Amino acid sequence: MTKRISRRGFLRWTLGAALVLAVFGFFAGRWSSRIRRRPGRRLRFFTPAEYAVMTAVAETMLPRIPFHSTETVEQIDRSLAIRPAAETKDIRTLLWMVEHLPPVLDRRLGFFTALSDADRAAVLRGWASSTFAFRRTGFQALKYLVMIHHYADRRSWRSIHYEPMELPGWPELPRAGSSRS
């Protein structure tokens, strides 16, 4: 037997839900991504807001590494631009969710790009260990994009003490710990 809800209870619940949606809609329309750094080149895949989110994700995932975040994210932008749309359609949705869902899923007031470094790290940890498969998979996709493009840059190799093999035709890189810059 189902419990009947009274008319007053129904109206109270409906009014509360409408109020929550109105407040969220009011703020969602006024909050925008905080663009901390401008790209050095014209973007080919990302919008400026998506670029800001991807830069914030990259800076959060690589906090102590000498990191050229704008160059890494610009490289991600270039590599996604040449991929077929069917392969990249979910990236835009993923970046929108990372930016806009912290108030809902992580109880953090503000968009991802406006959060402090510690709060952004907590949000990404929440994505990595979530019970929702779409969040864990989304985190892995972002981590893959950031890591593969960061460590593909030869300048990042010194930070992990990687000594490349000498290959004919490749310019010589300074050795880790050497005084040459």
The arithmetic mean of pLDDT across residues 73-77, rounded, is: 91
The pLDDT value given to residue 26: 57
User: What is the average pLDDT across 56-85?
Assistant: 84
Structure tokens at 141: 């996709």
> Span 83-94, mean pLDDT?
91
What percent of the chain is predicted at pLDDT more than 70? 78
3-state DSSP assignment of residue 119: helix
Residue found under tokens 């779409």 = 134
pLDDT tens-digit series, residues 123-150: 999 999 999 999 999 999 999 999 999 8
Extents of the domains making up the chain: 36-158
Nearest by Cα to 143 from 31, 48, 58, 21: 58
Q: Give the torsion through C-alpha atoms of 173, 176, 180, 181, to 10 deg.
A: 80
User: Cα(51)–Cα(85) distance, rounded to whole angstroms?
Assistant: 18
Report the helix count and the strand count for the chain, using DSSP H and E: 7, 0
Of 151, 123, 117, residue with least CA distance to 139: 123
